[in-house]
Amino acid sequence: MTAVLKHKRATFERIEKFISDIYFTDVNLYGRIDSEIAGLKLFRSSLKDQSYGSFEAMKKGEFSPISENETFMPLWSQHWIKLVVPADLLRSSNLHLHWDVDGAESLVCEESGALVQGMACKRKEMKISATSQVLDLVYYIQVSCTGLFGAGKGGMIMPPDQDRVYTLKKAHLFSRDQNKYNVFMDLSVLFDIVKEVPEDSSLHYDALYTGNEIVNIVTLGDHSSEAYKKAHSIGRKFLAEQPENGSRDTIHAIGNCHIDSAWLWPYRETIRKVARSWSTTLSMFDKGETFHFAGSQVVQFDWLKEHYPKFFERLRRSVKEKSFIPVGGTWVEMDTNIPSGEAMIRQFLYGQKFYRKEFGIESDILWLPDTFGYSGQLPQIMQLCGVKYFLSQKLSWNLTNTFPHHTFYWKGIDQSKVLAHFPPGDTYESALKMKDIVKTVSNNKDKGRTHDQMLLFGHGDGGGGPTPDMLERLNRVSGIRGLPKIKRSTPNQFFSAIEKSGTMLCEWWGELYFELHRGTYTSHSKLKELNRRCEFLMREIEFLSAHDPNDTISRETIEEMWKIVLFNQFHDILPGSSIQKVFDDAMVDYKRFLELWRVQYDKYCVEGQDNCVINPYNWSRKEVVSIEEKSTLVSVPALYAGPPTIATTKDKCSVVELKDGIRISNNQIWADFTHRGELRSLVHKARECIASGTHANKYVIFDDIPLYWDAWDVMEYHREARQEFSPQSLQVLEEGPLRSQLLIIVPLGSHGDLKVFVSLEAESPFLAFKCQVDWKAAHKFLKVEFPLSISATDAVYEIQCGYVKRPTHTNTSWDTAKFEVSGHHWAHLSEPDFGVGLISKSKYGYSALHNQLTLSLLRSTKAPDQTADIGEHTIEYAVYPHTGPLHTSSLVELALNFNHPLVPRRAHGQCSGLRVDGQGIVVQSVKKAEDGRGTVIRMYEAYGNTCEATLERESMKMAFSMNAVESESTKISLPVSNNQTVLKFRPFEIKTVYIESEAETGHTRRASAASTSMVSPTKKPKHR
């Protein structure tokens, strides 16, 4: 004992070297655990690049013998290996396979094709069950030419190395001495305790002494079997679970495996990643391991059902046994900054629909561990979709401020409240090492308010999941005196425990702003442009479908189109933080979407007439459109599809030559430009909008070199490297009367030239800009600035179904961190009686400093996609001055009109008969109900006011409010009188109303038969 006290460090390092996989492996314990066995036979299939459905074809093909050092290429290709274990070796004790293809991922299958487990850089071993069979045992291994984190050339997030060659480094059998392995795991945990538990704890020294004693017993016993058994008994006694270990804290240990649906690899590889990872988990269950595994992202379950149907049936049984727990309820783990409110609702609608159909469950937990910040409207959307718990950990990555809570109630902008938890270990891929266990308790910001915390274990991001070593550690640390109690738990058991004990939890109101990855609001501009376009096209096609009594528009195709949109809103696709191949796949997806949309639209309008328009919004519109190549002013009723009315107006646009420039104007605003094209004045009702002594619409480029995460991050210091580019020339293209238009050329040096079309239309209160550029930059950030004659401490930014306020100053570190923020269709700066809105058609990155609003236009990052944003772009935005406060400005309506203009096209008849009146109310969706009988109207209050709205439908027989995923049990009857019902809204409230008219009652839609519950289409959509 004295020696231990005198030489603590030496004793500590003695234990470390005794179990080291680097030092003294010829004589230490680690080097004695496994004994290699010769005799494994390997053969390679002659078939190349075989994928999901290739198993039977591969088995019938030709095979050639191979050995270690066999090579595999090219990147992303698939190769099959036949592995034969001679029958006489199957009687070997504790037989294992060691498999290492230079870090490439592999999937092991039985001879029948049943999935066994995945193998990769973090999991290179597989246990082979002992048997007395007389025939050789055959496995087939699919080798995927990609690593767990892709194949970045020169770094993890760098573009993939297209010349990467994978080599079979290890392929052999070995026998594991279980006694030695048991002692090895005991010492690993004891060493971990000494390393991580503070020295002022008696547990620290108890573990040190016990570990030293075990080393002595093994060494003095000459590594005999009896010595190992005796040593393990000492370790087992020390690590035995104590009924009462003296700790009030409980850690809920839950297995998981975060798998990015696409990131540093294409989504087709993710399908295999899911098969590899989840088959490993189910194999562990089959071997008697007792833990719970949380699986999220519904699309990944759907992939397994389509590509691995037999395995999916195994998974279904595991879900029924409550070992495998489906969580999340969303189609993917989506970004929450950029998608529309309706798209986020559809994530839940189609996700929960799948869970109900396949497993008979719904998830009440939103599971977003890796998403880049969380919209302030998310709590309401969750509640409306039957979800009451929220899990993440991403805010632990904050660069500036430490988020003050781990367990709290999160209130949305409408005051909806959900219970949120961020695991205090700040990870979703713990290996159950003592570091994570100690941190989970010590780092908890809500000590005293709760004694329960979650710890998620299992390799993640690129897949993998829990390993046998992790479970061995779990067996040893579950109840050690001096440590928190560690419980094998489920997500719902954890949240239930919090609800029972967490009566003193704090609240956090509004968005959960992520102080990192702000560049993702702008990276990969075309993805964001197509996402928004598709969201608007879904409004149109569903609006038409809701007015189509003959079901001409396919419900199955509508679902397929939505799933294309939803998949590409995954938090590494839409934000633009994936490799080029993911971007290329997304472009193919969006092309497929547009083809489907066109087929459905044309089918509906086959007997229609030309020059019709669709207005899916609940306000009338008066706009200039192009009919037969001629500018025409038309007026259109609210919630209408059909031919417009040709309108007249006294408002005329004009262009006037000034002494030192050009003025374009209508009856509402005028804008003065210098002869070079600088916007020096913008006036509305005698109020100058542009700050004195400067001009607006400034195109500026910043150096854009982050600390590491290239496509993800823009750093605050980028503002210190600003370069302004002045216009070179101005040309008048149109002079009214319905439209005035200018062309301004802005040279951007070696980065390309901007062509800027500035237009002002009759009856329009905003000045519109359309930029065309062939962008050729590298690590540059293009923005446009509007210094305004407005003094405001906050700017307002639209988010899903509402808005948030963010500071224009840098008073605190929390204010300073918001130097780049996300917004949807507009940002706004105002005084009590005057304001200016900056409207964007496809951009989501904004900033506001003092009196200046800035819109982020283009980035040019080089990792993980070195081609990101290079090429031709069209960018549209507008500036809108107004008198009065925001809530009387009609900014929301005008921004939607600008983003979703009236487009004359062929249409079938007229769609009308629906009316929604209410100041500040926006109809977000008009669609067929999922039950196939009624119509669903979703709407929200947009300006933060309490108000009423009247909904009217011709021949409306009944109306119900219901949740957003249209659960029959949530229907609440609404009073109907004279085909109307009155709805009351709180600020930013979203409502879903189900209505049936006389025509709909008794009419059974073909897709729903007689079911009163939500059903899935009989024909499986072709989607990811």
- Write out the catalytic residue numbers: 370
Q: How many angstroms separate the CA atoms of 338 and 322, rounded? A: 34
Quickly count helices (H) and strands (E) in the chain: 19, 56
Within 10 angstroms of residue 108's Cβ, the number of other Cβ atoms is 23
Taking the alpha carbons of 318, 324, 325, 330 in that order, is the dihedral positive or negative? negative
Contact 954, 1021 (CB under 8 A): no
Continuous segment of H or E residues that includes residue 393 = none
DSSP secondary structure code for residue 573 in this structure: T
- In Å, what is the CA distance from 604 to each residue of 544, 561, 991, 1003? 8, 16, 29, 19
- In Å, what is the CA distance from 1017 to each residue of 350, 558, 602, 932? 11, 11, 22, 11
Give the residues across from 195 on adjacent strands.
none
Phi, psi of 877 (to 5 degrees): -155, 170
Question: 724 exposed, middle or buried (CB, 10 Å; 0-12, 13-18, 19+)?
Answer: exposed
Contact 200, 213 (CB under 8 A): no
- In Å, what is the CA distance from 822 to each residue of 190, 575, 668, 975? 47, 11, 30, 40
Contact 579, 146 (CB under 8 A): no
Pairing state of beta strands 507-509 and 407-411? parallel
Q: How many angstroms separate the CA atoms of 403 and 395, rounded? A: 7
E strands present in 412-465: 417-421, 452-457
Pairing state of beta strands 921-928 and 956-961? unpaired
- In Å, what is the CA distance from 164 to each residue of 104, 146, 153, 154? 11, 9, 9, 11
Q: How many angstroms separate the CA atoms of 559 and 563, rounded? A: 6
- In Å, what is the CA distance from 783 to each residue of 211, 518, 679, 748? 61, 14, 16, 12
Q: How many angstroms separate the CA atoms of 997 and 492, rounded? A: 40
- Tokens, residue 223: 């590594």
Pairing state of beta strands 250-256 and 485-488? parallel
Phi, psi of 621 (to 5 degrees): -135, 145
